[in-house]
Amino acid sequence: MACQQSSETTDLNKIAFLFPGQGSQYLGMGKSLADELPAARAIFDKADEILETNISQLCFKGPLEQLNQTINTQPAIFTASLAAFYSFNNLKPDYILGHSLGEITALVAAGVLTFEDGLKFVQKRAQFMQEEAQKQDGGMAAVLGLSQTEINKALAEQKGIYAANFNSPGQVVISGLKTAIETQTEHLKSIGAKKIVPLKVSGAFHSPFMKNAQEKLSQYAEQIPFKDASVAIVQNYNAEVQSNGQILKENLIKQLTNPVMFQQSLFLLDSKGVTNYAEIGPGKVLSGLVKRTLKTASIHNIEDIDSLESTVNNLVTG
């Protein structure tokens, strides 16, 4: 089931669904939805069957160390997010935006990929990324207090380090060799960075270090049909609206070695009249980015029974 473009919202009251990426996982994600709603339970059961592993119990009970491994994290978040998405059918978006991994979730929500094809794609993506991560001592870090322009200028002449996520004003994630990140830390602080926070990831994602993973994923993607989207999707690669299946696929592959243009995507949605943003899936990471980027936005989330009821009530009846 794919969501259809909303015909009920006005130009002044448009809705965007946001799907989270790696880093949003936590033990117990999706459990209350699966316990109470057959539609959510069915998604977890189907994921277990497709992956031939108990991904649902990994989401619900862990162990956390295993859940935090890239090879498991990505399919787990994908499954939990779609379990939340399929828990309601009375709320339709005007646009959909995912963050990194979340863009694949968005493609399923918009009918571009089937759930099974999407899950298998995520599994391969995680596998290829983890394989590349094991080849070099890479990592990522969030830089707080510098603009996109300042980061780009600071890294322009550096080797082994790149801008990876433009998340919100004053928050840019850098990616590269850990030695390069450590070397640049003092320099970035000297030009105004307030804080630099290493991220708990296993590799230099969204950088040229993922080139081999990108090539493998591109080959795998040729086996999967990508349909045109039923709802406009804003893509990470270029922060542009797209619905053509072939272009969605090409840009999704490019995403692996290029920065996530999340802040720019939010600005685009704002310019198109989106006022309501609903994060669908575990955590509130994206909600925080929206809050820092768009001061007047109305922010909602759906990750459990309570937030589901609150968000649907607010957006459908409010």
Share of the chain above pLDDT 70, in %: 96
Instruction: Pick the catalytic residue from 100, 175, 207, 287.
Output: 100
Q: What would the pLDDT profile of 46-55 be if each residue is shown by its tens digit?
A: 999 999 999 9
206 catalytic residue (yes or no):
yes
Q: What is the pLDDT of residue 117?
A: 98
Task: Delimit the domains of the chain by residue range.
Answer: 14-134+207-317, 138-198
Alpha carbon distance 212, 161 (integer Å): 17
State the chain's mean pLDDT as an integer.
94
pLDDT at residue 10 tops 50: no
**Are 172 and 146 spatial neighbours (Cβ–Cβ below 8 Å)?**
yes
Share of the chain above pLDDT 90, in %: 90
Element spanning 167, H or E? strand 161-168
Amino acid 281 reads G
Q: Where does the pLDDT of residue 157 fall: very low under 50, low under 70, confident under 90, or very high at 90 and above?
A: confident
Q: What would the pLDDT profile of 236-288 be if each residue is shown by its tens digit?
A: 999 999 999 999 999 999 999 999 999 999 999 999 999 999 999 999 999 99
Would you identify the CATH topology of the domain 14-134+207-317?
A: Malonyl-Coenzyme A Acyl Carrier Protein; domain 2 (3.40.366)
Alpha carbon distance 256, 206 (integer Å): 5
Locus of tokens 């040229």:
208
Q: Where are the alpha helices (DSSP H) in the chain?
A: 31-36, 38-51, 55-61, 64-67, 70-85, 102-109, 115-133, 148-155, 178-190, 211-221, 245-254, 262-271, 285-293, 305-312
Q: Enter the tokens of residue 318.
A: 């409010």
How many residues are listed for the chain in this entry? 318
Alpha carbon distance 137, 139 (integer Å): 7
Q: What is the pLDDT of residue 296?
A: 95
pTM score, whole prediction: 0.95
Q: What is the pLDDT of residue 12?
A: 56
Q: What is the pLDDT of residue 9?
A: 42
Element spanning 142, H or E? strand 138-144
Instruction: Pick the catalytic residue from 24, 56, 87, 206.
Output: 206
Put the strands of the sheet holding 274-280 in their side by side order. Answer: 241-242, 232-234, 95-98, 14-19, 274-280, 298-302
- With CA atoms as reference, report the closest residue to 287 among 302, 272, 269, 273: 302
Q: Enter the tokens of residue 201.
A: 């990831």
Per-residue b/e over 215-250, b at no fewer than 16 CB within 10 Å? ebbeebbeebebbebbbbbbbbbebebbbebeebbb
207 catalytic residue (yes or no):
no
**Are 120 and 107 spatial neighbours (Cβ–Cβ below 8 Å)?**
no
Q: Could you tell me which residues come within 8 angstroms of residue 126 by beta carbon, excluding any fewer than 6 positions away?
A: 70, 71, 72, 73, 74, 75
* CATH match for 138-198 among 3.40.50.2000, 3.20.20.80, 3.30.70.250, 3.40.1160.10: 3.30.70.250
**Are 144 and 197 spatial neighbours (Cβ–Cβ below 8 Å)?**
yes
Q: What would the pLDDT profile of 180-226 be if each residue is shown by its tens digit?
A: 999 999 999 999 999 999 998 889 999 999 999 999 999 999 999 99
Mean pLDDT of 94-105: 98
